[in-house]
Amino acid sequence: MSEALQWRRCSACKKPLPFDAPYWICNVSTCNRPRTGLAFCSVECWEVHLPTANHREAWALERRSPAAGASADAGAEQGGGRRRLVRPAPAAASAPRKPAVPKEVLIIASRLKDYVRARSGFNTSDRVLEPLSEIVRRVCEEAIANATRDGRRTVLDRDIPDA
């Protein structure tokens, strides 16, 4: 099949996926990200990726490829087609409201007091818990920003900044 008649290639067997034809994707979001974008020519090819994907529960979803020239990324892959500027909606209008973050103490008082006593023999005031919780919140915010920057929705140990 010529390059002009194919939409993409199967992620497993590399057969061409034609325009305006059925194909299958994995229902798991990590397989459907723009950078990953797995597409399979058959359910059998979709099953090939399961042993390495380690999904807890997954199934194949049938989709239909765009008609030739109908999709922006299809036209971009062919090198032709028109490009148009798409402006994102204003952040205030499109962003859902986030629930209020609780300002609770994040430190376990008994564990902190035991640690300080074992390390130095000192006692620990209860007023230490709130400033330490604020430090933990700042570190968590930076870790969340690092995970977001990497395109993940899971904060990992490598997202925690060095002290």
- Residues 114-142: pLDDT tens digits? 999 999 999 999 899 999 999 999 999 99
pLDDT at 53 over 70: yes
pLDDT at 88 over 90: no
Domain boundaries, the chain: 3-78, 99-159
Burial of 41 per CB tally in 10 Å (0-12, 13-18, 19+):
buried
Please state, in angstroms and as integers, the Cα–Cα distance from residue 65 to each residue in 76, 93, 102, 118, following that order: 15, 31, 45, 65
CB contact at 8 A, 27 and 58:
yes
SS3 label, residue 63? strand
Q: 87 falls in which pLDDT band (50, 70, 90)?
A: very low
pTM of the model: 0.42
DSSP state of 96: P
CB contact at 8 A, 25 and 60:
yes
